[in-house]
């Protein structure tokens, strides 16, 4: 730890909503110092208001994971940290048939899911024994029509983590791979049909429901805090890979 035996400093890129916000909640409640980062100052301010008034501390910094200069400034400002986690993603409009997909939208997804995490690895000042955790997704294992770019980004991200685990040790590098999770991204993907879509998806899973952000946060905490886990993908998918 960087400050004391009981306090850890964690940067969460994509921490203003969904899985990243759930992780921030758990860390603050446990007494950690958490820096949440995303592109939107408004969403960061709203996220801070929802976090508990626990023993931990929270601050927010505007960062665009696709812009190297903002990542460099982030770590110059916060200094050494124990853990870095990214849940950032940009999938707006990228679910489309390969025959007609938009190249620029595809590049935005790759920038957020693959290049951005590589830039975090480049600039983060993580203490020895600390960790860097990426977020991939079920599309790498159970892709569907129209998901080729997302599947490719998730698969490549996991290969990036394997290589970085070797290169950056003793800093540990892992991936958490969620399945269908009830996060705000579904408002973009499904719109008004979100509830109906969730019910349809839940019926296909062995656990009979879709996941919650806090359940993914639990896996992230395991990757962060187990000192013998590195170069590993932790699946939180309700058995999706099996069906």
Residues 141-154: pLDDT tens digits? Answer: 999 999 999 999 99
Min mean pLDDT across 4-13, 25-34, 166-175, 223-232 is at 4-13
What pLDDT band is residue 5 in, cutting at 50, 70 and 90?
very low
Percentage of the chain lying above the pLDDT 70 cut = 94
Containing domain of residue 31, as a range? 9-242
The predicted pLDDT at position 3 comes to: 42
- The total of structural domains in the chain comes to 1
- Residue 135's domain is classified under what CATH number? 3.40.50.720
1 within some domain = no
pTM of the model: 0.93
| pLDDT tens-digit readout, 167-178 | 999 999 999 999
Q: Average pLDDT in the 109-134 region? A: 97
What is the DSSP track for the chain? --S-SS--EEEEETTTSHHHHHHHHHHHHTT-EEEEEES-HHHHHHHHHHS---SSEEEEEE--TT-HHHHHHHHHHH--EEEEEE-----TTT-S-GGG--HHHHHHHHIIIIIHHHHHHHH--EEEEEEEEEE--GGGTS--TT-HHHHHHHHHHHHHHHHHHHHHTTSEEEEEEE-SB--THHHHHTGGGHHHHHHHHHTTSTTSS-B-HHHHHHHHHHHHH-TT--S-EEEESTTGGG-
């Amino acid at each position: 730890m960087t400050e004391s035996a009981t306090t850890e400093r964690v940067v969460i890129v994509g921490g203003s909503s969904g899985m990243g916000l759930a992780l921030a909640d758990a860390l603050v409640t446990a007494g950690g110092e958490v820096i949440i980062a995303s592109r939107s100052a408004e969403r960061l301010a709203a996220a801070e208001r929802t976090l508990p008034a626990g023993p931990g501390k929270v601050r927010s910094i505007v960062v665009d994971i696709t812009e190297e200069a903002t990542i460099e400034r982030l770590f110059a400002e916060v200094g050494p940290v124990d853990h870095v986690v990214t849940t950032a993603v940009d999938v707006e409009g990228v679910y489309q048939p390969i025959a007609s997909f938009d190249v620029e939208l595809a590049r935005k997804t790759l920038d957020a899911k693959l290049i951005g995490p590589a830039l975090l690895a480049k600039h983060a000042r993580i203490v020895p024994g600390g960790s860097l955790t990426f977020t991939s997704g079920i599309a790498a294992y159970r892709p569907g029509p129209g998901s080729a770019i997302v599947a490719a980004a998730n698969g490549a991200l996991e290969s990036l983590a394997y290589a970085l685990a070797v290169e950056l040790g003793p800093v540990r590098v892992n991936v958490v791979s969620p399945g269908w999770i009830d996060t705000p991204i579904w408002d973009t993907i499904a719109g008004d049909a979100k509830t109906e879509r969730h019910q349809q998806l839940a019926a296909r899973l062995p656990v009979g429901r879709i996941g919650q952000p806090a359940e993914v946060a639990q896996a992230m905490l395991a990757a962060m805090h187990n000192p013998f886990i590195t170069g590993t993908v932790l699946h939180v998918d309700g058995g999706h890979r099996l069906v």
